[in-house]
Amino acid sequence: MILALGMILDALFGEPKWLWSKAPHPAILMGRSVGYFDRTLNSGTHRKLRGCLALVLLLLIALLLGLALQALPYKIAEVICLAILLAQRSLVDHVSAVARALRLSLNDGKRSVAMIVGRDTQDMDTSDVSRSAIESAAENLSDGVIAPIFWFFLAGLPGLLSYKITNTADSMIGYKTERHKEFGWASARFDDLLNLIPARLTALLIWLTQPRPNTIQYIRAEAPKHRSPNAGWPEAAAAYNLDVALSGPRTYDGRKVDYPFVNAGGRKTLGPYDIDAAVRLLWATWALCLFIVIAVSLF
């Protein structure tokens, strides 16, 4: 029941500002660790090998810390770690904030969505803002909620911390920039591997909130249209569930990229009400996952 308690605690309290204004969040500490290895190892020759070494060292730190915390006599430490490292409430709060801002004005919506996506936002219209928020909801449901639950279920705190440090490394050095295309290769590939099952599990859970015939086959056909080998699965499932088109053209650093739509037959004119529907889907999927976790714990 440790996993269920951690999920509930996260859903109730999320990220208490009073706590993280006084102490660094574990995600910040993980980011500093990745940054340290980036500064000290990412230079000279053999950068791909150096990146592999950095990932191994980060994983070793995560495994040892996880084993130490797991060995504490009181299981409350595991519950608290879970609640801190899961992101359901935080995700819901950030996505809901975009809908609220968009109801005030388009500029407010663009400022809000810029906090959760990496693409250019200055030329977005209402549909672009809404689509971006829904995509972030679907992708981060997998990365920030289902994947951590999955790896904790399989390998306890060592598994959870190993996943989180890999995910942090991928977000910081996994981009194919000139500086990181070799050094970040190992982190990006290992993150893809760790998310392989959770991404597809997230799609399955989303489908189970509103199961319809032939939907699984449709999701399997649409997911590969996404640029990511994993993110396409939860996005395809969410797109079909909400009857909207996701992905599609967008701009990064002033350069337009013509990505294909996922669920191209879905609605392309979107608004804050569609973001609200995505938030309801986040909670429905979370509730289903919690039910499964409790059922497995009991039986």
Task: Give the start-to-end residue ranges of the domains of the chain.
Answer: 2-298
- d(CA 183, CA 177) in angstroms, rounded, equals 10
Instruction: Tell me the β-bridge partners of 257.
Output: 250
What is the secondary structure of 278-290 as a DSSP string? HHHHHHHHHHHHH
- Quickly state the pLDDT bin for 44 (edges 50, 70, 90): confident
**What are the distances in angstroms from CA 259 to CA 115, 226, 256, 276?**
22, 8, 9, 25
Helix/strand/coil for 60 = helix
pLDDT for 206-264, tens place per residue?
Answer: 999 988 888 889 999 999 998 889 999 999 999 999 999 999 888 888 888 889 999 99
In tens, the pLDDT along 75-97 reads 888 999 999 999 999 999 999 99
Q: How much is the pTM? A: 0.94
Residues 120 and 135: their CA atoms lie apart, in Å, by 15
Give the distance between the most distant pair of CA atoms in the chain.
55
Mean pLDDT of 23-41: 91
| pLDDT tens digits, 172-209 | 998 778 889 999 999 999 999 999 999 999 999 999 99
Distance from C-alpha of 238 to C-alpha of 234, rounded to nearest angstrom: 6
Range of weakest confidence among 41-50, 158-167, 275-284:
41-50
